[in-house]
Amino acid sequence: MSSPAFVFPVRIYYEDTDAGGVVYHANFLRFMERARTEWLRELGYELTALEQEFGFLFAVRSVDIDYLSPAHLNDLLKIEVSIARQGKASLDIDHKVHRDETLVCRARIKLAGIAADSFRPMALPFTLD
């Protein structure tokens, strides 16, 4: 009964791959951040505006990621974004990465709202639902 996830496409270029012939494991975190940023943009929240208007930043608190199938040069991946849990000053996001029907990897990423000047916890200046 969950709402359909936001999906952002990412094409794989040489910069994303390594000498094993696959996408380097750390780079999936970059793709997931691109997808989160575009998801927030579609909801009306630009990261730069949140910082300028509210002095608000997201910080990554933890990442739990499972790599299930390798991705390769020229693959067109689909990065899903869905809310796992929203707290007052935190936001847990679930990501799934698919190439066609294959689940490439999945992750839960916990974000904290922080004040840009002090890096102390700060309530999210918006609600998502």
CB 43 within 8 A of CB 91: no
- Among 22, 83, 89, 115, contact with a copy of itself (rule: CB under 8 A): 22
**Candidate ranges 19-27, 81-89, 93-101, 120-128; the one touching a copy of itself (CB under 8 A):** 19-27
Q: Which CB atom, from 1 or from 26, has the smaller least distance to a copy of itself?
A: 26
Beta strands in 13-55 (DSSP E): none
Report how far apart, in Å, the C-alpha atoms of 9 and of each of 93, 99, 100 are. Answer: 17, 10, 11
Q: Is 18 a catalytic residue?
A: yes
Angle at 115 between CA 113 and CA 118, to 5 degrees: 135
- Among 43, 53, 62, 126, contact with a copy of itself (rule: CB under 8 A): 62
CB 8 within 8 A of CB 74: no
Q: Which residues contact 5 (CB under 8 A, 6 or more apart)?
A: 80, 81, 82, 96
**Candidate ranges 22-30, 78-86, 96-104, 120-128; the one touching a copy of itself (CB under 8 A):** 22-30
Determine the Cα–Cα distance for residues 110 and 117; give it in Å rounded to an integer.
21
Q: Is 120 in the site for a copy of itself (CB under 8 A)?
A: no
Q: Is 7 in the site for a copy of itself (CB under 8 A)?
A: no
Size of site (CB under 8 A) for a copy of itself = 38
What is the contact surface with a copy of itself in residues (CB under 8 A)? Answer: 11, 13-15, 17-22, 24-27, 29-30, 33-34, 37-38, 46-48, 57, 59-67, 70, 72-74, 119
